[in-house]
Amino acid sequence: MKTLVFVSLVGLFLHDTTAVMHSLKFFNTASSEVTNFPEFVSVMMADDIQICYYDSNTKREEPKQDWMIKAVDDQYWEGETEKLKGHQQWFKVGLDNLKRRFNQTGGLCSCFQEMYGCEWDDETGDVNGYRQIGYDGEDFIAVVTKQKWDKDKKYVNYGRSSLMRTGRIK
């Protein structure tokens, strides 16, 4: 009996002190040559529940939860829709650039994705943000773009005499 009471109290204690993590996530996907799929899709999620959706076919951001309809006015939806139309263009250009960098020609399915957001611990108040970008299922920053950035050291070369100096600056 004592063990049962102890386990019950520990269970209550752990439940009361367990922090709740909240999250806000954005997923943007641009694709080409994918059958029956829009060229651009954007999804917004709060605590892993989809709350907004936009795609290049409808060209309109739509609420996916009733509370989102009540939380904001029509101006919000118009502004967000215009912003997402801009994202759609940026992703299209980005996808075209990536296809060129990887020497891919027409007819191949390609996908350029971005996921970003933040998590909030409601007990500690800690907030952590993140952003990931991928191309065809791979972290593209670590491939071609990283190689390009690593070899582009022109500013270091331009300022080599000042940057590499070991003595005091007068």
Tell me: the pLDDT tens digits for 111-125? Answer: 999 999 999 998 888
* Residue keyed to tokens 């386990």: 7
What is the residue range of 125's domain? 21-155
Is residue 40 in some structural domain?
A: yes
Q: How confident is the model at residue 14 (pLDDT cuts 50, 70, 90)?
A: very low
Total domains in the fold of the chain: 1
What pLDDT is attached to residue 131?
Answer: 86
- For the segment 22-28, the average pLDDT, to the nearest whole number, is 95
Run of H or E residues at 35: none
Lowest mean pLDDT among 38-47, 65-74, 117-126, 160-169: 160-169
The verdict on residue 47 lying in a domain is yes
Average pLDDT value for residue range 26-45: 94
Distance CA 115, CA 44 (A): 10
∠ CA 40-44-49, nearest 5°, is: 130
In a domain, 6, yes or no: no
CATH number at residue 53: 3.30.500.10
Predicted TM-score (pTM) of the model is: 0.70
42 vs 69, higher pLDDT: 42
Confidence band, pLDDT 50/70/90 cuts, at residue 8: very low
Strand partners, 5: none
The answer as to whether 106 is a domain residue is: yes
Share of the chain above pLDDT 90, in %: 44
Q: pLDDT tier at 46 (50, 70, 90 boundaries)?
A: very high
The answer to whether residue 115 is domain-embedded is yes
